[in-house]
Amino acid sequence: MIYKSKEGDIELEKLTRLYPAVVVDMQGETAEMSLEWMDLYADKVKLVHYVLVFDSTPIGEDIRVRTVLTFDTKDALIEEMNEVAKYFN
């Protein structure tokens, strides 16, 4: 299955992980955190953007093979997640 994203075609059969996250600025350093973490600590960090990560890195490999889609809002992220979910139903 091929998912046509704004970043190009993504081969869903090769995915090892698919997850939503947020990128936050913590005192000048950026970090990728879970949506749940953001709900708990939103008042302590600056939100940079939301992401949907398509990770095709083979298990045990050091070189990451990822496509990351970025979104300005949580609603836009969830909308994209719903589109991707159609491929798995």
Q: How far apart are CA 30 and CA 42, in angstroms?
A: 14
Domain that holds residue 13: 2-85
Tokens read off for 70? 């970025």
Q: What digits encode the pLDDT tens for the residues 10-34?
A: 999 999 999 999 999 988 899 999 9
pLDDT bin (cut points 50, 70, 90) of residue 4 is very high
Q: What digits encode the pLDDT tens for the residues 43-76?
A: 989 999 999 999 999 888 888 899 999 999 999 9
pTM of the model: 0.90
Tell me how many domains the chain contains.
Answer: 1
